[in-house]
Amino acid sequence: MSTLPVPAGPGQSQVQRFAAVLRTPLGIATVAGVLVVAFVAAFGPALWSAQAAATDFSQLSAQPSPAHPFGTDAGGRDVMARVLTAAQLSVGMALVATALGVVGGVIIGFLPIILPRRIARFVVSATGIAIAFPALLLMMMFSIVVGTGVQGAVLAIGFAMMPAFGRLAQTMSSSISGRDFVLAARVLGVSRFRILARHILPNVAEPLTVNASLAAGGSLIAFSGLSFLGLGVQAPDFDWGRLLNEGLSKIYINPATALAPAGAVIFVGVVFTLLGETLSRGFGIEPLLGKRPRPLPRTAPGGQEVADDVDDATVLRVRGLRVAAPARSGWTHPVNNVSFEIRRGEIVGLVGESGSGKSLTCLAVAALLEHPLDVSADSVNFDGSELTQNGKVPGRIRSAALRTMLGTRLALVFQDPSTSLNPALRVGSQVAEIGRLHEGLSTKAAQARAIDRLAEVRINNPARRAKQYPHEFSGGMRQRAMIAMGLMGSPALIIADEPTTALDVTVQRGVLGQLKAVNREKNAAILLVSHDIAVVTGLCTRVLVMYRGSIVEDVDVNDLVAGRAKHPYTRALVDAVPTMTAEKGEPFTTIPEGTIFPTALVEETV
Amino acid sequence: MVVVTVAFVIIRLIPGDPVRNALGIMASQDVVDARREALGLNLPLWEQYLRFWQGLLSGNLGDSFSLQMPVTEVIGQRLPATIELAVLSLIVMLAFAIPLGMAAAALTRGGRRRGLELGYTSVSGFIAVIPEFLIGVGLIYVFAVQFQLLPVAGRSGPDSYILPVLALSIGGIAGVSRIVRAEALSVLDQDYIRTARAKRMSSWRLYMRHALPNLLTSSLTIGGLVLGGLIAGTVLVETIFSWPGLGMTIVSSIKDKDFPLAQGIIMVYGFLVLLVTLVVDILLVMLDPRSALKEN
């Protein structure tokens, strides 16, 4: 379901993209934050170091005052000046360590490309082990070796970052080095180093930049942590971590001595995170946020008032059904003003090309379409109950009685049996659930009935099968289990949305036969969605033809087979079915792309 | 194996003479030599390595320089406090993060409630950025300095657990709940959720029975990763709250150049991380029969 990131084209569009990102609130906040941090880090010591060193013995650990906005520390020095002065060391160290980590990581990451295979494999697995370790532990290990102090801390954090960047560079470079243009370069005899420098490095640069920016925030925090523990910067130097360490012991006297450096760390950490986010949007790694769709203009109800009386022989009557979907500009109507009805015990086919709105129509009448889709109708009457409320079909039915009615009387079989059963629950309990929910059965009784229903759809050894998980079932068995699920109640209508498309042809027959059997034995009507005319003509008595969101023809199956369909689209569909009588070598009939047919319903002429 | 070797190598990598380092410049050469002899540092490297393993297997990691007691004994005393803290924090974290993430997913799925979504993602993103020791400082300020509700240091009654556990878990709650939300959003998009909705059950049942089990495996994997980080986080949090665990001990051992102790504790941390990974893998196989199938 995930959409692949679309890489922005080079040159102009990239610049434009960045310009667009910088105009968003995120971009503005980032630029402002980066400027503040850069300014303070660059000029902080020059501007405030004198003030930070000045001790005022009359004001030891003083509360905040106009002269000292954050008060003074135990030595009578101004806390704000000290925090601002410390910015240079804190941010500087973080950047140096990040640079170290990125460079070292990239070298580690690219080694496998250059080195012989066996050593390469060793490097990869060593990185894997190192990455499993929390960075802080790595840092502490390194700081045992290199000792405490600024240099030690920079080295420790830089080294501790290398495995992560090494892994990043490894995965990215290995995915790129498998691509066609690198393979082509290799075939042409370009050396490994040249491939690395010319083809791989430019392609990994963008994600690396983004991650480096995020890591810089992380390393700033790591430095504060180390210094706070007393393992980083040592007196008389000070960074935020050491200020925090000093401040914490004075938190009862002047909380600002601890809170000010803490705030500074958080501020810079957030700025680095924002920077990373902005960069990744700018590079097109992450999509720009879409705009909120405008509210749907209220369409006038489809027209005529619908008479309330539905005759008893009708199981489903739909009038003026529309499905609206938000799009880039305004709303589209993938299902537009659809009306049809299904009589009890009837098998009706619903055919049409992909995207013609068949599945949406099914889900809409089953009251299963949810936000952001909007379903409106003049009337959807199922089994004598009206499902619309104020002209809408809600995605969640609130009335308990209606829910029980839908749960037991309407069964659904979906296209892909491998995804429509819950992989984490046993098949038996999934089949049994309807009985527990709507028929007041005990767990045991429901389970017994579920086993019974599984047997009914001809699943061998149902008691054992009920205890299994869906992944232990074959595709055809899963679809049978879905039908069994529908049989837990007493279905008046089964909506089968392309029930056999995902199955192979031999299994297909069995599943269709099962549906037919249910129809015969339980007098359940079936709405069979398919784009396979052959399947529909074999099973149904009547066919609805859908095209671009509308039902264009409602035709008896005998008329369809006899070639008496009226709508040009229906005829085109029928003509496109390959037959055994076709001349050898003759091209198959197709509907030329771009052909547009009228979408009005052809009227019966009888 | 790797952990032990790394811990062994680290001590040998220290520039200069670790014993001289530890005892200071003032110590006489005789004392240094005697200590070197006692530690076996004059032996050839391979023999040192063998002895190290020997000691490890017989539960002897040498004596701490500064505390003058066996390293294993120090670890034995301090480890339970750290484990307690880490496990409690993990429980609190998962107990809050999973429902929070699921609720956020349920409320914002399909692009509804954009305002809530923006608020949730920015607030949780912000909290996730703040490191646990700064949260600790903030908590101390609010609960101990401003309102004086809770004790700030040491390990005594149940109320002394509240702040350290909170400090460790708040960031995780924010971070993990974001991941849970992302996972939940993809689970709620699955066909089997549509199947469940077609059975017209209550939202509660839909989320708890049909969505949650499918979230558990991924949440658990994340939980395992987070627990590794939690163990590391205890080092900082223990220092803030003067919690008598391993973290405080290793910090002081590094500062005091107490190498046997530091080496021992690093190994313990390493084993803990490995153990967590192992336990998570086993749990995953138990929870999700499909992953066991893959292993075969």
Is pLDDT above 90 for A211? Answer: no
**Chain A neighbours among B 245-284 (CB < 8 Å)?**
250-251, 254-255, 259, 262-263, 266, 269-270, 273-274, 277
Residues A349-364: what's their mean pLDDT? 87
Q: State the best of A131, A136, A143, A371 to mutate against chain B, taking most chain B CBs within 10 Å.
A: A136
Please indicate whether, in this complex, the C-beta atoms of B138 and A231 are within 8 angstroms of each other: no
Which are the contacts of A497, defined by CB distance < 8 A and separation ≥ 6? A358, A359, A362, A363, A412, A413, A414, A415, A529
Bridge partners for A380 per DSSP: A318
Residue-wise pLDDT for B92-104, tens only, equals: 888 888 888 888 8
Please indicate whether, in this complex, the C-beta atoms of A133 and B210 are within 8 angstroms of each other: no
- Provide, as residue numbers in chain A, all residues whose Cβ is less than 8 Å from the Cβ of B142: none
DSSP A180-204: HHHHHHHHTT--HHHHIIIIIHHHH
**Chain B neighbours among A 369-388 (CB < 8 Å)?**
370-372
For A7-21, B22-36, B41-55, which range has the lowest pLDDT when averaged over its residues?
A: A7-21
Closest residue to B201, CB basis, from A1, A137, A437: A437
Bridge partners for A323 per DSSP: A335, A375
Please indicate whether, in this complex, the C-beta atoms of A407 and B199 are within 8 angstroms of each other: yes
Which are the contacts of B285, defined by CB distance < 8 A and separation ≥ 6? B291, B292, B295
Report pLDDT for A581: 67
CA–CA dist B164, A97 (Å, integer):
29
Residues A302-328: what's their mean pLDDT? 76
**Chain B neighbours among A 232-271 (CB < 8 Å)?**
244, 248, 251-252, 255, 258-259, 262, 265-266, 269-270
Is pLDDT above 90 for A271? Answer: no
C-alpha pair distances (Å), A559 with each of A329, A541, A546, A553, A554:
42, 10, 17, 12, 10
Please indicate whether, in this complex, the C-beta atoms of A145 and B13 are within 8 angstroms of each other: yes
CA–CA dist A95, B172 (Å, integer):
26
Classify burial at B283, counting beta carbons within 10 Å of its beta carbon; exposed 0-12, middle 13-18, buried 19 or more. Answer: middle
Domains delineated in chain A? 10-49+67-282 (1.10.3720.10), 347-355+396-576 (3.40.50.300)
Please indicate whether, in this complex, the C-beta atoms of A136 and B125 are within 8 angstroms of each other: no
Are B240 and B133 a contacting pair, CB within 8 Å? yes
Report pLDDT for B254: 75
Classify burial at A11, counting beta carbons within 10 Å of its beta carbon; exposed 0-12, middle 13-18, buried 19 or more. Answer: exposed
Is pLDDT above 60 for A301? Answer: no
Domain ranges for chain B, please list them.
2-57, 72-295
- Provide, as residue numbers in chain B, all residues whose Cβ is less than 8 Å from the Cβ of A217: 129
Are A527 and A362 a contacting pair, CB within 8 Å? yes
CA–CA dist B61, B271 (Å, integer):
15
Report pLDDT for B196: 87
Residue-wise pLDDT for A88-125, tens only, equals: 778 888 888 888 888 888 887 777 767 777 777 777 77
Is pLDDT above 70 for A2? Answer: no
Residue A605 vs residue A588, higher pLDDT: A588
Q: State the best of A127, A226, A229 to mutate against chain B, taking most chain B CBs within 10 Å.
A: A229
CA–CA dist A20, B63 (Å, integer):
63
Please indicate whether, in this complex, the C-beta atoms of B199 and A471 are within 8 angstroms of each other: no
**Chain B neighbours among A 206-225 (CB < 8 Å)?**
217, 221, 224-225
CA angle A243, A244, A249 (to 5 degrees): 105
Closest residue to A266, CB basis, from B134, B189, B228: B134
Are A250 and A62 a contacting pair, CB within 8 Å? no
Judged by DSSP in three states, A571 sits in: helix
CA–CA dist A190, B252 (Å, integer):
54
Residue-wise pLDDT for A455-487, tens only, equals: 988 888 999 999 988 888 888 888 889 888 888
Please indicate whether, in this complex, the C-beta atoms of A137 and B270 are within 8 angstroms of each other: yes
Is pLDDT above 90 for A510? Answer: no
Percent of residues, chain A, with pLDDT higher than 70: 80
Are B124 and B179 a contacting pair, CB within 8 Å? no
Q: At what angle do helices A135-146 and B2-13 cross, to 10 degrees?
A: 30
Is pLDDT above 60 for B291? Answer: no
For A485-494, B27-36, B119-128, which range has the lowest pLDDT when averaged over its residues?
A: B27-36
Interface contact B6, partner A, CB < 8 A: yes
In the DSSP assignment, the letter for residue A294 is P
Interface contact A140, partner B, CB < 8 A: yes
Interface contact A188, partner B, CB < 8 A: no
**Chain A neighbours among B 137-166 (CB < 8 Å)?**
137-138, 140-141, 145
Q: Pick the closest to residue B8 from B271, B262, B274 (CA basis).
A: B262
Instruction: Identify the closest residue of chain A to B203 by CA–CA distance.
Output: A396
Instruction: Identify the closest residue of chain B to A411 by CA–CA distance.
Output: B198
Residues B180-208: what's their mean pLDDT? 84
Alpha carbon A563 to its chain centroid, in Å, reads: 45
Report pLDDT for A393: 82
Per-residue pLDDT band for A67 (boundaries 50, 70, 90) equals low
Closest residue to B198, CB basis, from A221, A412, A419: A412
Per-residue pLDDT band for B10 (boundaries 50, 70, 90) equals low
Which are the contacts of A194, defined by CB distance < 8 A and separation ≥ 6? A185
Residues B10-25: what's their mean pLDDT? 60
Instruction: Identify the closest residue of chain A to B255 by CA–CA distance.
Output: A231
Number of CB pairs < 8 Å for A and B?
A: 173
Residue A348 vs residue A288, higher pLDDT: A348
Residue A529 vs residue B5, higher pLDDT: A529
For A383-387, A436-440, B233-237, which range has the lowest pLDDT when averaged over its residues?
A: B233-237
Instruction: Identify the closest residue of chain B to A395 by CA–CA distance.
Output: B197
Closest residue to B195, CB basis, from A269, A397, A414: A414
φ/ψ bin of A233: left (φ > 0), alpha (ψ from -120 to 50), beta (otherwise): beta
Judged by DSSP in three states, A333 sits in: strand
**Six-digit token string for B138:** 């903030």
C-alpha pair distances (Å), B30 with each of A321, A355, B69, B147:
97, 89, 22, 56
Q: Can you say whether the dihedral through the CA atoms of B248, B251, B254, B259 is positive or negative?
A: positive
Closest residue to B145, CB basis, from A132, A135, A251: A251
Mean predicted lDDT score pLDDT of chain A: 78
Residue-wise pLDDT for A561-579, tens only, equals: 887 888 888 888 777 777 6
Interface contact A327, partner B, CB < 8 A: no
Mean predicted lDDT score pLDDT of chain B: 75
Is pLDDT above 70 for A148? Answer: no
CA–CA dist A454, A466 (Å, integer):
8
Percent of residues, chain B, with pLDDT higher than 70: 69
Q: At what angle do helices A201-229 and A150-177 cross, to 10 degrees?
A: 150
Are A247 and A73 a contacting pair, CB within 8 Å? yes
Instruction: Identify the closest residue of chain A to B147 by CA–CA distance.
Output: A252
C-alpha pair distances (Å), A449 with each of A106, A198, A209, A220, B221:
61, 67, 60, 63, 37
The domain B72-295 having CATH identifier 3.30.1660.40: the answer here is no
Is pLDDT above 70 for A14? Answer: no
For A103-117, A409-423, B61-75, B198-212, which range has the lowest pLDDT when averaged over its residues?
A: B61-75
Give the position of tokens 């023999």.
B47
Interface contact A458, partner B, CB < 8 A: no
Task: Give the minimum alpha-carbon distance from A394 to chain B in angstroms, rounded to a whole number.
Answer: 13
Residue B27 vs residue A244, higher pLDDT: A244
- Provide, as residue numbers in chain A, all residues whose Cβ is less than 8 Å from the Cβ of B235: 136, 140, 229
CA–CA dist A143, A157 (Å, integer):
9
Which are the contacts of B164, defined by CB distance < 8 A and separation ≥ 6? B85, B89, B136, B237, B238, B240, B241, B243
**Six-digit token string for A160:** 């501790």
Instruction: Identify the closest residue of chain A to B251 by CA–CA distance.
Output: A229
Task: Give the minimum alpha-carbon distance from A270 to chain B in angstroms, rounded to a whole number.
Answer: 7
Task: Give the minimum alpha-carbon distance from B189 to chain A in angstroms, rounded to a whole number.
Answer: 9
Alpha carbon A325 to its chain centroid, in Å, reads: 18
Report pLDDT for B14: 59
Residue B217's Cβ-side half-sphere holds a number of Cα atoms within 13 Å equal to 16
Report pLDDT for A489: 85
Please indicate whether, in this complex, the C-beta atoms of B290 and A471 are within 8 angstroms of each other: yes
- Provide, as residue numbers in chain B, all residues whose Cβ is less than 8 Å from the Cβ of A363: 194
Give the predicted TM-score (pTM) of the model. Answer: 0.74
Report pLDDT for B191: 85
Per-residue pLDDT band for B294 (boundaries 50, 70, 90) equals very low
Interface contact B12, partner A, CB < 8 A: no
Interface contact B294, partner A, CB < 8 A: no
ipTM of the prediction greater than 0.90, yes or no? no
For A374-378, A523-527, B254-258, which range has the lowest pLDDT when averaged over its residues?
A: B254-258
